Amino acid sequence: MRVSVLGPLTLGLGARSGVPSAMKPRKVLSLLLLNAGRMVPVQSLMAELWGDQPPRTGLTTLQTYILHLRKLLAEGLGMSSAAVTRDVLQTRPGGYAMVVSPGELDVHEYRDLVAEGEGALEVGDERTADTSFRRALALWQGPALVDVTPHGRPLQAEVARLEQSRLTVTERGIETRLRLGGHLEVLSDLASLVVEHRFHEGLHGQYMLALHRSGQRTRALTVYQRLRTAMTEELGLEPSAKLQRLQQAVLVSDPRLDHEAGTPGRGPVVA
């Protein structure tokens, strides 16, 4: 079985799929998969389906969805319904749980690779960290559960957590490539990211640093000025002291901003 939630929802074996076409059962399956191995309370599943006002028949309808999912899983995985109930979509006291084996769910693989990358950074192995972060981000095929909408509050919370992790890992991966001297390589990614995340100071700082190291000091200062204008006009805020120090360092071509590929360590920090 291969299961994906980092993009469109997919579950199946080979060409056979265990994903329902109706949206409400898809939402139930999605919430169970994002909590794979853990019991999801009936109340959470009903809140996902109907918010704070479930119908009087809500519990019966949920049980019908579970039966439908088990039938689809049996067909998609080539198992008997009894085996699915016993080993895959289990009834537990107070709720239900999906059981997946190691390597079957993409979000588990993603988290393992992120942990591997962070561990490599802790021991100063930037090249291994870079590989791990790239592999983790390559698992994403679009926004999490992009074809399961609209999300109720339980799914909103889970998806928001995943998307925040994706952004954090993206930033960590760029930081790692900058440490390795890959400032030219990250320019195109950062040009897109600062448009998508207009007020993300960390990404803007990385873009300024990459531009400076690429001999584009004027553009680096323009990136800062655009961010400052947007923040002051739309939020009534100034950029952080850290970003202001980076701007001043770019202005005077502070040598601490320079970096040669292969130099170990965390890279220059403007205090």
Contacts of 263 (CB under 8 A, 6+ apart): 179, 181
Task: Give pLDDT, residue 190.
Answer: 98
2-98 and 182-260 in the same fold? no
- In CATH, what class is 2-98? mainly alpha
> How does 222-231 read in b/e, with b if 16+ C-beta sit within 10 Å?
ebbeebbeeb
pTM for this predicted structure: 0.89
CA torsion 155→158→159→163, rounded to 10°? 170
Task: Give pLDDT, residue 1.
Answer: 81
Q: How do the pLDDT tens digits run along the chain, 271 residues long?
A: 889 999 999 998 877 888 999 999 999 999 999 999 999 999 999 999 999 999 999 999 999 999 999 999 998 888 999 999 999 999 999 999 999 998 899 999 999 999 999 999 999 999 999 999 999 999 999 999 999 999 999 999 999 999 999 999 999 999 999 999 999 999 999 999 999 999 999 999 999 999 999 999 999 999 999 999 999 999 999 999 999 999 999 999 999 998 644 343 344 444 4
Task: Give pLDDT, residue 259.
Answer: 67
Cβ atoms of residues 29 and 100 within 8 Å: no
Q: Is 152 left (phi over 0), alpha (psi -120 to 50) or beta?
A: beta
Q: What is the full DSSP assignment across 126-183?
A: HHHHHHHHHHHHHT--SSTTTTS-S--HHHHHHHHHHHHHHHHHHHHHHHHHHHTT-H
Task: Give pLDDT, residue 266.
Answer: 43
- In CATH, what class is 182-260? mainly alpha
Cβ atoms of residues 39 and 97 within 8 Å: yes
Q: Where are the domains of the chain?
A: 2-98, 182-260
Give pLDDT tens digits for 221-246: 999 999 999 999 999 999 999 999 99
**Residue 207 belongs to what H/E stretch?**
helix 201-213
